[in-house]
Structure 1
Amino acid sequence: MAVCVAVIAKENYPLFIKTIPTENELKFYYTVHTSLDVVEEKVSVVGKNNNELRELYLGLLYPTEDYKVYGYVTNTKVKFVIVVESSNTSLRDNEIRSMFRKLHNSYVDMLCNPFYTPGEPITSKTFENMVLSMM
């Protein structure tokens, strides 16, 4: 389903990036990096409407010719980015939301580990296995 999953820190550096094995992995890193501008734009627009609760799921950030990039921001400003193939039209918005919920829950479980220091790269095998199950 997903071809790339990334967890980006509040300060916009990657905590975790996993891609499908391909000769073009650098393209996914570039796609994730460029999606951060769109994430910041969407978060700042939502931040101006203080009357409404902030929606964590940002939806489709942008489509490319081969992929669609979706975003999600936690309350602590940690960003999740999932890249899926554009040809995979069977994915619905609810399925993408479900993927982000699963990713967020696994991230919270990983944060509860007393040996993990927040802001450090994610090396949890449990978290990585959950991400691999989404791919």
Structure 2
Amino acid sequence: MAACVAVIAKENYPLFIKTIPTDNELKFFYTVHTSLDVVEEKISSVGKNANDLRELYLGLLYPTEDYKVYGYVTNTKVKFVIVVDSTNASLRDNEIRTMFKKLHNAYVDMLCNPFYKPGENITSRGFENVVLAMLQQD
């Protein structure tokens, strides 16, 4: 279902990036990095009105020729980015939201580990298994 899943710290450095096995994995790293500008724009445009409740799901950040990039931001400003193949037309917005909720729940479970220090790279097997399930749902 997903081609790439990334977790980005609030300071915009990657905590976790996993891609489908491909010859050009660097392309996904670049795609995730360039999506951060769009995420910042969407966050800042919502933050102007203090009465608005901030929506965690940012929706489609931008489409490329081969992929669509979706974003999600937690209340602590940790960003989740999921890159999906553009040819998968059957994928609905509702399914993307479900993927982000699963990812967020796995992230929260991983944060509850007393041996994890926030801001370090994510090495949790449980978290990685959730991400691998998202990448293999084709």
Q: Does the pair score TM above 0.5?
A: yes
2:69 maps to what in 1? 69
Amino acid at match of 2:86: S
Alignment of 1:1-135 (within 5 A): 1-135=1-135
User: How high is the TM-score relative to the length of structure 2?
Assistant: 0.97
Runs of 4+ in 1 over 3 A off after TM superposition: none
Gaps of 5+ in 2: none
Please give the root-mean-square deviation of Cα atoms over the aligned residues, in Å: 0.3
Deviation at 1:7, TM superposition (A): 0.1
Q: Percent identity?
A: 85
Amino acid at match of 1:65: E
Residues matched between the structures, number: 135
In 2: Cα distance, 1:108 partner to 1:52 partner: 24
In 1: Cα distance, 2:88 partner to 2:49 partner: 34
SS at match of 2:122: coil
Deviation at 1:133, TM superposition (A): 0.2
Deviation at 1:116, TM superposition (A): 0.2
Gaps of 5+ in 1: none
User: How high is the TM-score relative to the length of structure 1?
Assistant: 0.99
Deviation at 1:49, TM superposition (A): 1.5
Deviation at 1:51, TM superposition (A): 0.9
